[in-house]
């Protein structure tokens, strides 16, 4: 695993993400939407990588942090006249009706909201391991879902929050994603990241070396919550709307699948998993909609896309549990010199 800065491990994934963004995003309006959605999901996958990949503890609760980030950003960027006249928002707290921020300050608010919720919940959850941790984080997701679904004082409840300002340029989500990739990689080679991986590899020996497992997990959990809050807000501004259902089970399943299929232990794995699942998913979606692929129309039943991704996840867990990349970072092999 990475313990020091290697530029190719960082620049390789970044250049591939940038190349994908421009090659696909400049093709059409639909291509631009695909790129922006993929980048928003990728940021969420990176949030999962920070905690799940480094700690080895499975979390189903990161959708909650994305939910808080999305609603925090969404409610302050929705125009006041819409909040005043919308039936879904008639019970909104008065200070939220009058509060308006631009997109970029709202993204900072989303980061803070995700970090705050993760930090507070992590004080308790980071004491758990294995199955208990998975169940507790899933419960956290359920709590967040019910808070936003039934409470119309902080949002539209079960309805959608509309009229969010979208990204104006392709470069906006690209720059945000690259910055997150830089933060994630630097955390991985930091003392905290190396210590966290030590607790994953040998949780019995780590405390004997003076490592506080709870503390290092809490640091990673809080950082990943901040990144998840940003990912949720980006996803909302790509769609132009926020709905609590968008961040529940399908969202959690999709982002975890991307991480596990690519390889949870590396930045390169998160990158490959996101692009691979996105590419396969788009091809299968076109088949479901009977759209031509290279001039050929192949029709498959609706729902096939989800089934294929789920089966791919099962196959990966059974026969290649470390993912497509086997947990390795991006590397260009140097040719051997012949004698």
> What does the DSSP assignment read for 66-112?
HHHHHHHHHHHHS-HHHHHH-GGGTTS-HHHHH----HHHHHHHHHH
Distance from C-alpha of 293 to C-alpha of 201, rounded to nearest angstrom: 45
Q: Which residues pair with 242 in a beta bridge?
A: 161
Residue 232 near residue 112 (C-beta atoms within 8 A): no
Single out the residue of 186, 188, 194 nearest to residue 211, CA to CA: 194
78 assigned to some structural domain? yes
Q: Could you read off the pLDDT tens digit of each residue along the chain, which spans 339 residues?
A: 456 778 888 999 999 999 999 999 998 899 999 999 999 999 999 999 999 999 999 999 999 999 999 999 999 999 888 888 887 888 888 888 888 999 999 999 999 999 999 999 999 999 988 889 999 999 999 999 999 999 988 989 889 888 899 998 899 999 999 999 999 999 999 999 999 999 888 887 888 878 889 999 999 999 999 999 999 999 999 999 999 999 999 999 999 999 999 998 899 999 999 999 999 999 988 888 888 887 788 888 888 888 988 898 888 888 888 889 988 888 876 444 444
The pLDDT of residue 337 is: 44
The pLDDT of residue 331 is: 82
167 assigned to some structural domain? yes
Which helix (H) or strand (E) segment holds residue 258: the answer is helix 249-262
94 assigned to some structural domain? yes
122 assigned to some structural domain? yes
As for how many domains the chain has, the answer is 1
The pLDDT of residue 339 is: 45
239 assigned to some structural domain? yes
Domain enclosing residue 228, as ranges: 7-247
25 assigned to some structural domain? yes
The pLDDT of residue 270 is: 95
Residue 225 near residue 114 (C-beta atoms within 8 A): yes
281 assigned to some structural domain? no
264 assigned to some structural domain? no
The pLDDT of residue 3 is: 65
Q: Is 29 in a helix, a strand, or coil?
A: helix
Burial 169-208 (b: 16+ CB within 10 A, else e): ebebbbebbbebbeebbebbbeeebbbbbbbbeeeeebee
């Amino acid at each position: 695993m990475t313990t020091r800065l290697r530029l190719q491990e960082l620049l390789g994934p970044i250049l591939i993400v940038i190349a994908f963004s421009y090659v696909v995003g400049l093709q059409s309006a639909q291509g631009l939407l695909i790129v922006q959605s993929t980048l928003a999901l990728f940021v969420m996958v990176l949030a999962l990588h920070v905690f799940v990949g480094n700690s080895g503890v499975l979390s189903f609760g990161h959708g909650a942090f994305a939910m808080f980030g999305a609603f925090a950003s969404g409610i302050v960027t929705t125009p006041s006249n819409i909040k005043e006249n919308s039936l879904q928002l008639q019970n909104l707290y008065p200070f939220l009706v009058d509060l308006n921020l631009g997109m970029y300050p709202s993204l900072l608010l989303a980061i803070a909201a995700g970090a705050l919720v993760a930090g507070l919940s992590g004080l308790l959850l980071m004491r758990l391991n294995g199955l208990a941790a998975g169940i507790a984080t899933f419960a956290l997701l359920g709590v967040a879902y019910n808070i936003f679904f039934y409470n119309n004082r902080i949002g539209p409840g079960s309805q959608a929050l509309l009229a969010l300002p979208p990204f104006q340029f392709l470069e906006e989500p690209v720059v945000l994603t690259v910055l997150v990739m830089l933060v994630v990689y630097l955390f991985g080679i930091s003392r905290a990241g190396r210590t966290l991986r030590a607790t994953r590899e040998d949780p019995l020996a780590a405390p004997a070396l003076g490592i506080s497992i709870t503390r290092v997990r809490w640091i990673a959990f809080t950082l990943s919550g901040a990144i998840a809050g940003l990912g949720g807000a980006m996803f909302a501004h790509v769609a132009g709307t926020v709905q609590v259902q968008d961040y529940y089970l399908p969202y959690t399943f999709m982002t975890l699948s991307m991480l596990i299929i690519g390889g949870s232990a590396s930045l390169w794995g998160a990158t490959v998993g996101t692009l691979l699942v996105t590419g396969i998913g788009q091809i299968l979606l076109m088949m479901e909609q009977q759209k031509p692929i290279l001039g050929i129309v192949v029709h498959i039943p609706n729902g096939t896309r989800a089934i294929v991704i789920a089966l791919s996840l099962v196959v990966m867990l059974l026969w290649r549990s470390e993912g497509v990349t086997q947990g390795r970072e991006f590397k260009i092999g140097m040719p051997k010199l012949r004698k």
